[in-house]
Chain A
Amino acid sequence: MNTWSFYANLALNGLVEGLLIGLAALALNLVFAVGRFPNAATGDFMTVGAYAGFGAHYLGGNIVVQSGAAMLAGAAVGLLSYFAVFRKLAGRPMVAALLASIGLGFVYRSVVSLFAGHDPRFFPMGTVSAINIGGVRIRDTDVWLAGIALLCMAVALAVLHLTPVGRQMRAVADNAVLAQASGIRSRRVMFALWAMAGMITGVAGLMLGIRTAVSPELGWGMLLPAFAAAVVGGVGSPAGAILGGVMLGIAQELSTPWLGFSYKIALSFVALAVMLLVRPQGLFGQKEAVR
C-alpha cells in the first residue's frame, strides 16, 4: 500500500466515524436550537434505536425495516421524553432540563437492560465487499451510512426551511414568546421537533450498533464526541453538526501516525476546548443558528 492510499484510507475512516458522530450531533443541535438545552439523553435515544433495529432484525426484517423500527422507536422516546418531562421544564433554567435529560438517559438505559439484558448483541453482518479505488477501500456499509447521514441532514434542513412547521420551529427558536403571541402553536412545533430529533438519533444508534455491538451503554459513549462535534460545528446549526463531526473524525484518524491510537480521542476534546476559547459560536454557528 503506498503512502497516498494509506492516508486516504485514514481520512475515509475518519469521514465514516465522523458521519456517525455528526448524526448524533445533528439531533443535539436541533433540540438545542429550539428546546434550548443540551439533551444528554441523546446517547440513550441512540441505544433505544439500536435495540429496536436489532429487534426488527431478530424478527427477520431487512435493513429498511430495521431503519424504520429504529426511527419509530427514536421518535417514540423523543416524544415521550418531551411530553413527560421536558415540556414541564420549559421556561426553567437550562440546567434543570440538562439534569433531567441525564436522569432520563439513566432511566432508558436501565429499562433497556431490564428487558434485553446486559449481554452485547451483534448484527450477523458477516463481511462486506469493498470497492477498491487505487488502494482506497470503500465498503457498501460506508456508502449506506454516508447516504443516510446526508439524507437526514437534507431532510432536517428541508423541514426547517421549506415547510410551515419548520418556519414555525425557527420562529420558536428565535423568540418563543413572540412566536406564541403571533399564534404559533408550540405543541405542534415541539411534536415535530422531538419526532425528527428522535428519528435521527434512532437511526444513528442503529448505524453504530450494526458496526459495533448493541449494548445498553452503546449511545452513552457517543455523547461526549457528539457534544464536541456540535460545539465545533456551531451549537444549534444542523449543517455545522455534521461538518463538525466529519472534521473531528478526519482529524482524529489522520493524527494517528503521530499521536497513536490512544491519544487520538483526546484530540476531539482539545478541538472542543480551543473552539470554545477562540470561537465559542463554532465554525458555522451564528448566535441563533436555526432562524
Chain B
Amino acid sequence: MDRSRRQIIKQGAGLALVASLPSAVTRALAQGGETLRIGALNPVTGAGSPYGGGMQKAIILAASEINALGGVGGRKIEIFAEDSETSPEAGVRAAKKLIEVNKVQALLGTWSSGVAAAVMPLTDAAGIVHSTNAGASNITSSKGLMFRYSGLSVRVGEALGRFAAKRGHTRLATMAFNNPSGREITGGAKAAWEKLGHQLVGEVIYEPNRPSYRSEVQKILAANPDAIVMGAYLPDFISILRETRQAGSNVKFYTPAWTVNQSLIDAVGPKATEGVYVHDYVAALDSAAFKSFVDRFRKATGIDATENYYACCAYDMMVVVGLAAEAAAGKGALQDSMRTVANPPGDVVYDFAQGQKLLKEGRKINYEGASGPIDFDQMGNVKPLFKLSEIKDGKVTMIGKVFEDY
C-alpha cells in the first residue's frame, strides 16, 4: 500500500475543494443566467478504478479553468459527477439521474464498453453528446452523438496479434474477459493472426470475479501455446498470470495496458511478469497541451497524469465540449460543432483560452489535446497514439516508437 489514510483524507479534502469550486461559482451566477450542464460519469470504483477518479478530477479541473475564463458563450459550466462503478446497471442508473434530474447537455467519460453500450441509448434518446473511452465497435450512435477518445478494442487486438507474429511466435492462443471489450481484443488478434496465415491453438472466454482461474489456465496451457493474447483487466490478469507461472509455464503474454501497473509486478513478483508485452495508448507526450496539463493537474489534485492516459482524455473531452459550445453558441447543436473545433483545417490550438479567443475572432480552429491530436472521423472515432512495451526486471520498458496509425 502506497498511501496512508491521512494522505487519502487529505486528497479527499482536496478533491472536495476542487469539486466545490465550479458549482460554488456557478451557483452564485446561476440566478443570473443559464449554465452549461455537463455530466461526468466515470468508473471511480470497479475495474476502472485505477483511472476513474483521475478522469473525474480532470473534467472538474477543465471546467473550473473554463469558468475562470468566464465560461462558454456567456454561460458557466456546471459539473454533475457520478460513479459508474464500471457496471452497466450502476452506469445506467447514474446516467438516468444525470439526464432526467440534472438535465445535462453532454455526458463525458464513460470508460468500459459495458457501461457505454448501456448508456448510449439514453444519451441518443436525449439527443446529447456522449464522449467515451469505450473500445467496443458497436458503440456508435446512429445520431452522430458518440465521440471516442481512444481506439477500438478490435484494433488493440490486431496490434497485439501482429506484434506477436513479428516477435516470431507460432502458437498463439487467446483468453478473453467475457465482455464486449475483452472479446473484441481477442477477436482482433485472431483476425490479424489468421490474415497472416496462422490458426489459433486455443481460445478461452472467462467470467469476471472468479475465486480462481486455474481451470481456465489449465485448458489454455493444454493447447501448448507459446504466446497468449489477453482481453483482460488487472485483477483477473494477476490471477491468470500467477496460475500460469505456478503451472510451470513461461508462455508470453500480449495484453492491453489497463492490465499492467505496479500492483501487478508487486503481486506476482518481477520474475513472473518477465515476458509480458503491453499495448498502451500514449498521451501526446511531446505536445505543449500534455505538458501543461500534467503540471496543472498535479497542482490541483496531486495526481501524476502521466500514469493515467484516460485522465488526459477526460480533460480533452471537457475542453472540446467547451470549445464546441463556444462555437455553437446561438448557432446550432453541440455535436455539429465538435469537428469544427477539433479537426483540421484551422489554426492549431493547445488550450481552451487560445481556442476561445480565436473562435471569438471568427476563426476556424483545430484543438490538439493532451491525449493526442483528436481528429474525429465520421463515426466519431479518433486515431489514438499507442506504443508497445515489455516488462523486464520488474519495469515496463517501451519497445520501438510511438505509433500514430494501425
Contact = CB atoms under 8 A, between A and B. Distances in A.
B178 A262 contact: yes
Contacts of B238: 122, 213
Contact of B234 (A1, A21, A120): A120
Given A13-B212, A120-B263, A126-B269, A211 B205 contact: no
Interface string A1-21: 100001001100110110011
A58 interface: yes
B31 interface: no
A279 interface: no
Contacts of B45: 113, 118, 216-217
B267 A139 contact: no
A118 B49 contact: yes
A259 B46 CA distance: 28
Interface string B42-66: 0011100110010000000000000
Contacts of A222: 211
A82 B205 CA distance: 42
A13 B235 CA distance: 19
Contacts, number: 109
A6 B234 CA distance: 27
Nearest to A137: B247
A215 B211 contact: no
- The B interface, classified by DSSP as helix, strand, loop or mixed, is helix
B246 interface: yes
B207 A256 contact: no
A123 B205 contact: no
A130 interface: yes
A118 B268 contact: no
B3 interface: yes
Interface residues of A, number: 44
Interface string A97-131: 00000000000000001010111111111111010
Contact of B207 (A124, A211, A216, A261): A261
Interface in B192-250: 204-207, 209-212, 214-216, 218-219, 222, 234-235, 238-239, 242, 245-248
A91 interface: no
A147 interface: no
B8 A115 contact: yes
Nearest to B9: A115
A128 to B, nearest CB: 6
A261 B218 contact: no
Contacts of B5: 115
B338 interface: no
Contacts of A13: 212, 214-215, 218
Q: Which of B3, B204, B209 has the most CB of A within 10 A?
A: B209
A127 B50 contact: no
Contacts of A6: 218, 222
A247 to B, nearest CB: 16
A262 B246 contact: no
A261 B204 contact: yes
A58 B1 contact: yes
Contacts of A212: 209-212, 235, 239
B13 to A, nearest CB: 13
A217 B46 CA distance: 8
Q: Which of A54, A127, A217 has the most CB of B within 10 A?
A: A127
Contacts of B218: 1, 6, 9-10, 13
A44 interface: no
Contacts of B3: 117
A211 B239 contact: yes
A164 interface: no
A122 B272 contact: no
A127 B239 contact: no
11 contacts: A9-B218, A115-B5, A117-B3, A126-B269, A127-B272, A130-B246, A139-B246, A211-B212, A212-B209, A212-B210, A261-B204
